[in-house]
Amino acid sequence: MTEPEGPTVSRGAEARLRKVDWWGFPALLKERDAKAYRPKALDEKLRRERTRTEVRLLVDARRLGVRTPILYDIDVERHRITMEELPGPTLRHLLEDPVLPFDSLERAVRAFGVALGRLHAGGISHGDLTSSNVIYPEGPERAPAFLDLSMGSRSPGVEELGIDLHLVEEDLKALHPRSDALVRAFHAGYADGNPAGEKTVRARAKAIRGRVRYA
């Protein structure tokens, strides 16, 4: 593969994303950077592992009917994946959008809850569930897609699931003045997506909140 071209669209703590063309389809190439502070062998191992995990979970989530970007290519040696570029705002954009009607935002958050419930019911945790890792390719009224699954797990315990929920609750509280209604909408959606696990996972999220507060 030749060196990827295209503008950098995002440079996070871990990875750089570049806009590329995949046989005519708009795509993003995600490349995990080397971390100078980690010993080289460990750094290589971690970058490979996260690249592999991300790819597996992207595909496994889709199998559950939970939307994720289509995987186009993977280069484990160079810690790169090429995936479909999804259009649309992230949940973070929606939470910060001053003109979006509140009931649209509520529906968006509810749809997010349903999607996360399905992911959890199917045995996958996300592991880094911030509002920047949720995107709405069909607009705020339709099911969102998950991004950035490299910290997720395919055999999560209640703790991992509880952490996912806890992070969402914290993010909603931090980013919106009417977060109580949004958290309720999120929980209602989650209960729909994960009816069997809802009680246990919410109880764990609550315990985690208590631990964090009094730590």
Ligand X SMILES: Nc1ncnc2c1ncn2[C@@H]1O[C@H](COP(=O)(O)OP(=O)(O)O)[C@@H](O)[C@H]1O
Residue 20 vs 135, nearer CB to ligand X: 135
Q: Which of 125, 133, 150, 194 binds Mg ion (CB under 5 A)?
A: 133
Retrieve residue 107's tokens. 């529906």
Q: Kindly state the smallest distance separating residue 130's Cβ from Mg ion, in Å.
A: 6
Q: Which of 29, 86, 109, 183 binds ligand X (CB under 6 A)?
A: 86
Q: Which of 33, 43, 122, 132 binds ligand X (CB under 6 A)?
A: 132
Given the rule CB under 5 A, which of 19-27, 86-94, 140-148, 170-178 is the region that contacts Mg ion? 140-148
Q: Is 128 tagged catalytic?
A: yes
Question: Applying CB under 6 A, does 17 fall inside the site for ligand X?
Answer: yes
Q: Which of 14, 164, 169, 198 binds ligand X (CB under 6 A)?
A: 14
Between CA 16 and CA 203 the distance in angstroms is 36
Span between the terminal Cα atoms of the chain, in Å: 49
Query: Among 60, 128, 148, 164, which one carries the catalytic annotation?
Result: 128
Any residues with CB less than 8 A from the CB of 128 and at least 6 apart, and which? 148, 149, 150, 151, 152, 167
Q: Are strands 134-135 and 145-146 parallel, antiparallel or unpaired?
A: antiparallel
Between CA 27 and CA 17 the distance in angstroms is 10
**184: Cα within 13 Å, side-chain hemisphere:** 4
Taken as a whole, the chain contains a residue count of 215
Given the rule CB under 6 A, which of 43-51, 117-125, 127-135, 180-188 is the region that contacts ligand X? 127-135
Residues 44-73 that bind ligand X (CB under 6 A): 69
Identify the CA nearest to 112 among candidates 86, 98, 130, 124: 130
Q: What residue ranges bind ligand X (CB under 6 A)?
A: 10, 12, 14-15, 17, 28, 30, 69, 83-86, 90, 132-133, 135, 147-148
